Structure 1
């Protein structure tokens, strides 16, 4: 596949297409077309719960309110991404880079329409095995160091979302958010990014499963970009994703590229990340 295939960049939970704004100019300057898109339930498709915008802020209201994106499923997210890929690529295959919780969405799209995905790249992303929901990995031993889970508010099974409280002025909570997502990002830039986050990640995306086949996802060229300092999806869990995929499709192993970064290299090292994804075929 020619190296000029368009790059489609997909953010993770709570973020939006804006998080790639430091990477895209560098990629385009290198001669590679690139487009960032919003995932279902995020960015322009986000819907904010009432507690997030009502004044005065009521911390007691954060946990119980059912999320306005509780009905967003993995099916919905994959359908949206597929339509975006078709529009951007004009029917030609594109290279997709998925961060964090966008991983299961990319996997579903590559399984259902492998002809549309020239290369599937996972940036410290969930890459669940066949018929395993991404949510299952949050309970595995390799996820023991996850620093995001303790920050979640409400019961995901009741509110339909993984919810973070970006409205709070609790300095300790906000510092822990910084450490989980942006530990190696300039604090001023991290603060600006935090102001753009939306509180609810649709639980349905994490609960959906995809049956992987040799002529589907197994046929697509794949790369995993590990983040060695990640505190949201730790190195041990990243290694498990890679090992499971290689065990399932040993004749088509995943290429691995390490980044000495925390969870958000698109902000902490945009030059290095841009160089890597620009080189993806």
Structure 2
């Protein structure tokens, strides 16, 4: 029997973002489930300023996040438990979007027997010992649209924070451009309403030492989003090149979508066509 698919969203999103993809996958006869990343979805905790207990402008930039203690270890432990449950202890194919990439990498390194195929959808796929956050500071990320949206000092608050309570139309338009540039505006507006403001900085700070017997032995596919303004195509190419240089015996398969950062909303059928055969 083909391994089930486990779909993992990126920062600020939730398992809901796969709702347009899942029907196509299931209709093709593949078992699949979407799960929440640590600090997100049903595991999210919203800061006081966002829920109205503290409404001062300063609080947006200074309130310590309720998910500040979430680490890459925590996220990997949660995803491992989800994978074990879905697969019944057997291997599954994991599709990770954006900042879920380093979590998938940690799980595949520690328990490669649980990951039949690691799929990175415009995701951070960090090299051995390199934190994902380092890639946001590289030249390949210089023109990314997410960093200017952040509304805090991550070292102080413990989170990468979006000001989702703002009524500034310019900010909201820039958020739309960064994440949903080719998504129908009505659908993008609905998705924006489901975002949570804080992404745990600890997930981006953690590192994983990669080995031939661990992550290096796992089959992997990278799905490039050619119009991505969040994880830029040049950075996506760098991530693939680094992985292939480190593990040339197990090269990365690459598929390209002519999409922005959120193809699960702009072209869900095409995403399903890519990931459904990967076992």
TM-score, scaled relative to structure 2: 0.99
Distance in 1 between the 2:209 and 2:54 partners? 46
Say which SS state the counterpart of residue 206 (structure 1) adopts.
Answer: helix
3-state SS in 2 of match to 1:139: coil
Q: How does 1:137-216 map to 2 (within 5 A)?
A: 137-216=135-214
Q: Name the structure 1 match of 2:254.
A: 256
CA distance, structure 2, for counterparts of residue 215 and residue 55 of structure 1: 49
Report matched runs for 1:111-122 at 5 Å: 111-122=109-120
Deviation for aligned residue 1:59: 2.7
Q: Could you say which residue in structure 2 is the equivalent of 1:59? A: 57
Kindly tell me: are residues 71 and 229 of structure 1, through their superposed partners in 2, closer, same or farther at Cα, counting changes over 3 Å?
Answer: same
Question: What is the aligned-residue RMSD (CA, Å)?
Answer: 0.9
User: C-alpha offsets along residues 193-247 of structure 1, whole Å, 9 cap, x if unaligned?
Assistant: 0000000000000000000000000000000000000000000000000000000
Offset of residue 56 of structure 1: 8.2
CA contact (8 A) 2:48 2:54 kept: no
Aligned to 1:134: 132
- CA deviations 1:48-95 (Å, max 9, x no partner) are 001001078433321000000000000000000000000000011000
Q: Deviations over 1:100-141 (max 9, x none)?
A: 000000000000000000000000000000000000011111
Counterpart in the other structure of 1:18: 16
Partner of 1:169, secondary structure, is: coil
Q: Equivalent residue for 2:36?
A: 38
User: SS of the residue aligned with 2:173?
Assistant: helix
Matching residue of 1:104: 102
Structure 1 stretches of 4+ moved >4 Å: none
Aligned to 2:263: 265
Tell me if structure 2 keeps the 8 A contact 1:95–1:121.
yes
Instruction: In structure 2, list runs of 5 or more residues that go unmatched.
Output: none
- How far apart, CA to CA, are the structure 1 residues paired with 2:272 and 2:221? 15
Q: Is the 8 A contact 1:228 1:261 kept in 2?
A: yes
Q: What secondary structure, in the 3-state scheme, does the structure 1 residue paired with 2:116 have? A: strand
State the TM-score, normalized to the length of structure 1: 0.98
CA distance in 2, matches of 1:139, 1:221: 28
**Is the CA contact (8 Å cut-off) linking 1:57 and 1:167 kept in structure 2?**
no
